[in-house]
Amino acid sequence: VEAGDGVYIEPNLLHSAVCLEEGELIDTFSPVREDFLTGEGPSYFGDKK
């Protein structure tokens, strides 16, 4: 992925990324990720105590 590129990832597909240099990441979700808005994080991160 290079500057200016966009990436579409199918729904419910486990994925990750590694940044090799400083940059800007913009995540968008449809429908809205309520867990991200509340700061809880996704359920697959496990139990946060």
Output the pLDDT for position 47: 61
Task: Tell me the pLDDT of the chain averaged across its residues.
Answer: 81
pLDDT higher than 80, residue 32: yes
Q: Which one-letter amino acid corresponds to residue 34? A: E
Q: Would you state the torsion angle of the CA atoms of residues 8, 5, 37, 39, taken in this order, to the nearest 10 degrees?
A: 100
SS3 31: coil
Output the pLDDT for position 48: 54
pTM (predicted TM-score): 0.48
